[in-house]
Structure 1
Amino acid sequence: MSLASPFSICIVAITALALLGLPVGHAMIAGSILYLWMAGLDMGTAAEQFLNGMYSNYIILAVPLFILAAELMNIGSMTDRLMSFCNAIVGRFRGGLAQVNILQSIIFAGMSGSAIADAAGSGKIMQNMMTADGKYPASYAAALTAATSVIGPIIPPSIPMIIYALVSDASIGYLFLAGVVPGLLMAGLQMVLVAVQARSRNFPVEAPTPLREIPRITWQALPALLMPVVLLGGIYSGITTPTEAAAVAAAYALFISVVLYRSVSFGDFYRSVLASARTTSSIGMLIAGALVLNYVVTVENIPQSLSVLLTSWDLSPTGFLIMVNLILLVLGCVLEGTTIILVILPVFIPTANALGIDLVHFGVMCVVNIMLGLVTPPYGLLLFIMTRIANVPLWDIVRDVLPFLYTMIASLIIITFFPDVVLWLPRLFGYQG
């Protein structure tokens, strides 16, 4: 491909605009329009691709609804009650608050589907709890919070998996199911690591919650704990689609916060809707830009050309998965996860299909890999978020997050080479892959 070709100039323009500070979604739209102009194609194609992609895929509606559900949980007392429940279960052990951090991420993973929402909401509370009275170093608490927040987009519901379903046509219901075991595996390895560190670093032991108090604490947290049951039960019973389930999740969170817990004012509700709209807008622009850029990539026949190239290399399915993992690990250090799913993965999906790789397994593997980028130095987004929340130097957080990153890479290796770990639960529910 010539360096002066329209496609090459398009890629250079997108990269340059992004480096200059233009949001990635806007940069992709601008670069794609430049390509259409240079290639002599209809300029209205960009708008057509945007409109067709955004308004004919109802599953995209699940994204803002899950984001709203997470915001509504964070402004009410749902978070506090769930924290009390987690503390009653695992807080009594050495390093108990660190274990609470992991357990609450498992529970919140079944509600928000966003790592950033978990870190900014419940993660902020955990940071304050762990650093109170100097119990844990601030950098360790921040690193652990960043690492546990990654669990959110793996255990259902998962916003990245919704976006992957958009580009792959894989079943969102089976993708959700496929994320359960990998997410629990990742959390389990983190708990083992915390248990080892608790003894080597002499972390404190919290005063145990009296056994007689556990039923009361559980009862108070029960409406919030039932949210994943309501959400996933609706999907897998066939009562709701994933998009409808997202609407039910948002309505359920509002009902619990306003009617049962009575902890949300109108001002709180307004601010949560506003925050959800801002987050949704940024994701929407990424999707819009990716849809237009994907049209450009299709016109250039990039996916098919790459598929032919990789086939000529005579890669085995295992070799292909290793190559994709290495590429995604590198890209995850410098690119935002949604961009990778929307722009990079569609290039690999035809080859994965040709090699007989199950797209549900492939999707979970890719999502787990991309989530590692959120805590991978030097540009891990969660690391920067926790730097602001904890007010500690980035390097200190990086030092403490590395052991957790190694456990997540170990989880990724298991997920990659043992597909049954991913597909076991979907097959119980009738998946034929």
Structure 2
Amino acid sequence: MNFTSPISLALGAIIALSLLGVPVGHAMIGGSVLYLYLKGMDMGSAAEQLLNGTYSSFLLLAIPLFILAATIMSSGSILDRLLRFCNAIVGRFPGGLAQVNVLQSIVFASMSGSALADAAGSGKMMQAMMTRDGKYTREFAAALTAVSAVIGPILPPSIPLVLYALVSGTSVGYLFIAGVLPGLLMGAVQMGLIYVMSRRRHFPVEAPVPLRELPRITLDALPALMLPVILLGCLYSGVTTPTEAAGLAAAYALLISVVLYRSLGWGDIYRSLITSARTSISIGMLIAGALVFNYVITSENIPATLSAFLQGYDLSPVAFLLLINLILLLLGAFLEGSTIILVVLPVLLPTAVALGIDPVHFGVVAVLNIMIGLVTPPYGLLLFMMTKIAEVSLLALVRETLPFLAVMIGALVLVTLWPDLVLFLPRLAGYSG
């Protein structure tokens, strides 16, 4: 490799700027502009690619709208109602509150679409509930909160899957429904492990909620539980586009929070708008940087070169997917997930398609890898977040995370080797892949 070539210097600039604390999106723009300068290309190409990529894709509008819906629903009393519902369903089983933590992540997935939002919102509340009165150690509660939070972005609405749809041209609707069974599988293996661990560690069981109270608690949480049903129903009936469905989700969240539950005031709405705007801007800058850098990658013909290189090894589709699992797990332990989706996956996707791998299956497997990477030592982003929230050492947190990491990787292998687990529901909805 020529370390003085324009692409090498551009990559070096991106890494150096990132290490200096410059946001990744800005670093990618800076490195890309350096590449254009060194190649003697029109510097305005960076702006052209950025504007063409952002203004020609209505799908991008879905991201801030989903974020707004999640922020509104987590700002009011909806989260409390959902936690009561989860406790009524699984609190009576061994490891009661631990089971509730996983179930609330599955339910909260319909609102957040983000692992970090889940951990910082409902996860933070579950951390406090589990450690109250010494029921669970802070390390175990923090580890469980981190690993359960990765379920959210696999289930619809999923911001990572929206980003993958952006770079792959795959249907958002089919990707959303493809993530349902893998997401539920991830929750099931976590709850199964908690059941086994509760027998050994004698985790407490919560006082069972009387069955006569269950209909009232369910009815109280039903409007929030209906959000994913309405969202997917609108998508697959053809009533709305993905962007319109995201707008409908935000409007629905506002309606039930203000009119039905009456849990939001004007000040809460204003803070929700500000919070979602800040989150959207940070993601938007990352997308902008990735669009410009992808132009550089395409100019260097890297996807075609890599595809020819990998095909030269005559890999089978299964062997390729297992290799990609290893690569993405390693990258996920060091890089932010959106960066991997926007920069790395477009390079790998042509090879996957050439090998006959379904792009929907590939996308879900990739997102599963990236989410697991968030809790993979040594630099999993969720691990660092939970050390601050729970005030525990990283070593103790990692020790409690490892058993969950093992069963999650087992679930990932199952999803990788059994494509029908991903494609069954999309095919029922009319997908021809």
Normalising by structure 2, what TM-score? 0.99
Q: Which amino acid in the other structure matches residue 127 of structure 2?
A: Q
SS at the partner of 2:152? coil
Aligned position for 1:392: 392
Displacement after TM superposition at 1:215 (Å): 1.3
Q: Map residues 89-104 of structure 1 onto 2, 5 A cutoff.
A: 89-104=89-104
Kindly indicate whether residue 30 of structure 2 is the aligned counterpart of residue 57 of structure 1: no
> 2:109 touches 2:153 (CA, 8 Å); kept in 1?
yes
> 2:173 touches 2:232 (CA, 8 Å); kept in 1?
no
Displacement after TM superposition at 1:12 (Å): 0.7
> 2:92 touches 2:205 (CA, 8 Å); kept in 1?
yes
Q: Which amino acid in the other structure matches residue 293 of structure 2?
A: L
Displacement after TM superposition at 1:92 (Å): 1.1
The C-alpha deviation readout for 1:146-175, integer Å capped at 9, x for no partner, is 111100010111100000011111111111
Aligned position for 1:196: 196
Aligned position for 2:147: 147
Aligned position for 2:66: 66
CA distance, structure 2, for counterparts of residue 271 and residue 90 of structure 1:
33
Kindly indicate whether residue 222 of structure 2 is the aligned counterpart of residue 247 of structure 1: no
Aligned position for 1:134: 134
Where do 5+ consecutive residues of structure 1 fail to align? none
CA distance, structure 2, for counterparts of residue 273 and residue 26 of structure 1:
24
Q: Which amino acid in the other structure matches residue 25 of structure 2?
A: G
Displacement after TM superposition at 1:243 (Å): 1.1
Displacement after TM superposition at 1:327 (Å): 0.8
User: What fraction of aligned residue pairs are identical, expressed as a percent?
Assistant: 68
> 1:126 touches 1:145 (CA, 8 Å); kept in 2?
yes
Aligned position for 2:344: 344
Aligned position for 1:78: 78
CA distance, structure 1, for counterparts of residue 216 and residue 118 of structure 2:
25
The C-alpha deviation readout for 1:246-278, integer Å capped at 9, x for no partner, is 111111111111111111121111111111111
CA distance, structure 2, for counterparts of residue 258 and residue 377 of structure 1:
41
Q: Map residues 202-217 of structure 1 onto 2, 5 A cutoff.
A: 202-217=202-217
Aligned position for 2:296: 296
CA distance, structure 2, for counterparts of residue 426 and residue 264 of structure 1:
37
> 1:67 touches 1:117 (CA, 8 Å); kept in 2?
no
Q: Which moved more, 1:215-224 or 1:157-166?
A: 215-224
Displacement after TM superposition at 1:385 (Å): 1.6
Q: Which moved more, 1:114-123 or 1:289-298?
A: 114-123
Q: Map residues 304-319 of structure 1 onto 2, 5 A cutoff.
A: 304-319=304-319
CA distance, structure 2, for counterparts of residue 97 and residue 427 of structure 1:
36
CA distance, structure 1, for counterparts of residue 129 and residue 251 of structure 2:
29
CA distance, structure 2, for counterparts of residue 318 and residue 213 of structure 1:
49
Give the superposed CA RMSD: 0.9
The C-alpha deviation readout for 1:297-346, integer Å capped at 9, x for no partner, is 10111111111111111111111111111111111111100000111111
Aligned position for 2:156: 156
Displacement after TM superposition at 1:110 (Å): 2.0
CA distance, structure 1, for counterparts of residue 152 and residue 380 of structure 2:
16
Aligned position for 1:277: 277
> 2:156 touches 2:176 (CA, 8 Å); kept in 1?
yes
SS at the partner of 1:375? coil
Aligned position for 2:25: 25
> 1:310 touches 1:351 (CA, 8 Å); kept in 2?
yes
Q: Which amino acid in the other structure matches residue 324 of structure 1?
A: I
CA distance, structure 2, for counterparts of residue 316 and residue 232 of structure 1:
34
CA distance, structure 1, for counterparts of residue 366 and residue 315 of structure 2:
18
Q: Map residues 341-380 of structure 1 onto 2, 5 A cutoff.
A: 341-380=341-380
Displacement after TM superposition at 1:91 (Å): 0.6
Kindly indicate whether residue 201 of structure 2 is the aligned counterpart of residue 221 of structure 1: no
CA distance, structure 2, for counterparts of residue 326 and residue 211 of structure 1:
46
SS at the partner of 1:204? coil
> 1:73 touches 1:257 (CA, 8 Å); kept in 2?
yes
CA distance, structure 2, for counterparts of residue 249 and residue 330 of structure 1:
34
The C-alpha deviation readout for 1:345-381, integer Å capped at 9, x for no partner, is 1111111111111000000000000111111111111
Q: Which amino acid in the other structure matches residue 429 of structure 1?
A: A
Displacement after TM superposition at 1:279 (Å): 0.9
> 2:25 touches 2:290 (CA, 8 Å); kept in 1?
yes
> 1:72 touches 1:253 (CA, 8 Å); kept in 2?
yes
Spell out structure 1 runs of 4+ moving beyond 4 A: none
The total of aligned residue pairs comes to 433
CA distance, structure 2, for counterparts of residue 137 and residue 68 of structure 1:
34
CA distance, structure 2, for counterparts of residue 86 and residue 325 of structure 1:
32
SS at the partner of 1:203? coil
> 1:109 touches 1:157 (CA, 8 Å); kept in 2?
yes
CA distance, structure 1, for counterparts of residue 206 and residue 315 of structure 2:
53
CA distance, structure 2, for counterparts of residue 73 and residue 386 of structure 1:
22
Aligned position for 1:11: 11
The C-alpha deviation readout for 1:159-216, integer Å capped at 9, x for no partner, is 0000001111111111111100100111110110000111111111111111111111
> 1:109 touches 1:155 (CA, 8 Å); kept in 2?
yes
Q: Which amino acid in the other structure matches residue 15 of structure 2?
A: T
Aligned position for 2:44: 44
